[in-house]
Amino acid sequence: MSERAWDRVAAKKLYAVDEWGRGFFDISDRGEVLVFPKREQTPDDPGISLMEIVSGLKDRGIAAPVLLRFPDILDARLKAMYSAFQNAMSAFGYQGSYRGVYPIKVNQQQQVIEEITSFGEDLGHGLEAGSKAELLAALTYLKNPGSLLICNGYKDQEFIDLALCGQKIGLYPMLVVETPREVSILIERSRAMGVRPHIGVRVKLTSKASGYWSDTGGDRSVFGLNTAQTMRVVDQLRSVGMLDCLELLHYHLGSQVPDIRDIRNSVLEACRTYAGLVKEGAGMKFLDLGGGLAVDYDGSKSSAVSSANYSLSEYCRDVVEVVQSVMDEHEIDHPVIVTEAGRATVAFYSVLLFNVLDVSKFDEDRCAELLPDDVEDLHTSTRNLNEVLKKLTPETIQESYNNAFYYRDELRELFKHGSISLRERSVAEALFWSIITQVAKICRTLEYVPEPLQELDASIADIYYGNFSVFQSLPDAWAIDQFFPIIPIHKHNEEPTRNAVISDITCDCDGRIDQFKIEQEITSTLRLHDWKPGDAYFLGAFLVGAYQETLGDLHNLLGDTNVVSIRLDDDGSYTLTSEIEGDSVSDVLSYVEYDPRAMIRTFREKAEAAVRSKLITSKERKSLISLFEVGMRGYTYHED
């Protein structure tokens, strides 16, 4: 334990809660994580304890893992976006307006789309669809006449017909041309249906952004038209008297653009293209900047891939300033600025809660128990390891570290060739890990730690087994090393003393999290509280609202978790507004083409055959079949 008292302030600093939480999350005096869904709009939001929610869900029979959704946060994020653009436009005297659209692909769940269209109704918020299924969802849930519906992606006749149907019923579908061949289909179908369509073009900019999604932009992007193709579209539309239908310029720099300079550069290039289209005679009205508004997952406020070196207000000011300056230079009316900010809209909206099932600890005391009183009868290399341990000092840590690996590797080879016994190998391994542990302890006291020794804590870290699947609930953490804040949701009045990595319950070595934010640094271990069998210990993975549900994978046939939506009441209590039961074993088996009913029939037949063979009794058959059927109906995750 440290000499200073441990409290919520120390815990907030350790886990950098203020940096990534954006005021939506905090730690109470009781040491529990609080969520403040309405704080952006209501400064005196009383907040809700996540542990209080866990307790309430348990009483209702809703088990962990569970995904919590907070619709109030979604409402707050949408309002913040419009407010920031309106403030920027007022400050600069911008004569156009702002329209936001939500890209359905970021989180396609029905409840998410329903809530976004509901909260966005008064704001005029629209949707972006990139497939027929998304287009049909948008046509169903957009409420306001004139709602902007950006139609991206590759389009066939049916897609275009559906979008034009949307125009007939009062929506504002914008058919964005992605490939030159779409133009002919669009012209033919709009004539057939008697509709003057709203047309956009997606262009490839030379500007690129850093980060995981940099290939989305640049002139080698697989999406959009180059300059020559864009001009052919202009000429084709002019030739049929439809150039006035070309109203929107669209580009997409990336899903998460961490550096504001990349954003400014891309907006500048897009504005030059927009101005050129106006001069060609196109009926331009909208400038669609696509996505890219980043989420500061690690709270560093930097240009790191999981961060952002700008705020929402800075983003809006920079966009408005660049657009206005270029349009004024060319004496062009200020366009309607459109953004497709999906990640920044929904990331804060969802929190994954899961309980710890078990812990595998590196136990130095157990290593010591294996050490014999007398090592003289052991192999020379084993005795050398013992000497390294005895003579270990701060001055010799590098040499001791190197020697420990040398002798350990030598003894492993001796064991392979039968030169030492299994018991002696266990002694050698105990000596080796005792050395490594002591070196790690000394390193924590040093001002400078040699580079090879900087990751020692990770090699002796505990493994905390969480009741969840990385592949199902946090797939980007596995696929692209996306960072998500993960911290305990209680016990913050106690100092965490264990260094840990987190493993899920899949039987896959990739099912682990080993990237955390600790005291302003990204580290490979997380400080957690000591866990003992029987402890109820809950962790939360935050900012998981974007992409994670949609990209989830049925690894080991672990399915969707329980999902609960929670609204904060005026008196500080909360209400469950929606409850979606997680996948059962039967559900996930059916997803991969099994027939659960046929499986039960087959098991019944096997059990009956076992009765005939006198392997089990008739009474045992009943019990076994009941167990099998209960298993089919059960949650795919660990159940108490």
Q: Which two tokens stand for residue 280?
A: 């060609």
Q: How confident is the model at residue 450 (pLDDT cuts 50, 70, 90)?
A: confident
Separation between Cα atoms, residue 15 and residue 17, nearest integer Å: 5
Helix (DSSP H) and strand (DSSP E) numbers for the chain: 23, 25
Beta bridge partner(s), residue 71: none
Strands 574-580 and 562-568: what pairing?
antiparallel
pLDDT of residue 456: 84
Rounded to the nearest angstrom, the gap between the alpha carbon of residue 162 and the centroid of all alpha carbons in its chain is 32
| Structure confidence at residue 2 (pLDDT) | 46
Q: Is 390 helix (H, G, I), strand (E, B) or coil?
A: helix
Is 457 in a helix, a strand, or coil? helix
Cα dihedral 546, 549, 554, 560, rounded to 10, equals: 150
Token pair belonging to 246: 């070309």
**pLDDT bucket at 622, cuts 50 / 70 / 90:** very high
9 vs 447, which has greater pLDDT? 9
Residue 319 in contact with residue 325, Cβ under 8 Å? no
| Contact indicator for 200, 174 with CB cutoff of 8 Å | yes
Digit-coded pLDDT (tens) for 381-423:
999 998 999 899 999 999 999 999 999 999 999 999 999 999 8
Give CA–CA dist 626/623, Å, rounded: 5
Stretch among 102-106, 222-226, 580-584 having the lowest mean pLDDT: 222-226
CA angle 300, 91, 347 (to 5 degrees): 35
Q: Are 566 and 576 in contact (CB under 8 A)?
A: yes
Give me 441's structure tokens.
């302890």
Is residue 476's pLDDT more than 90?
yes
Output the pLDDT for position 369: 65
pTM of the predicted protein model = 0.92
What is the per-residue DSSP string for 265-311?
Answer: HHHHHHHHHHHHHHHHT----EEE--SEE---SSS--SSSTTS-SS-
Residues 6+ apart with CB under 8 A from 571: none
Q: Is the pLDDT of residue 136 over 70?
A: yes
Query: What confidence category does residue 1 fall into, taking pLDDT thresholds of 50, 70 and 90?
Result: very low
Q: Which amino acid is at 328?
A: D
Residue pair 492/27 in contact by the 8 Å Cβ criterion: yes
Tell me: pLDDT of 170 over 70. Answer: yes
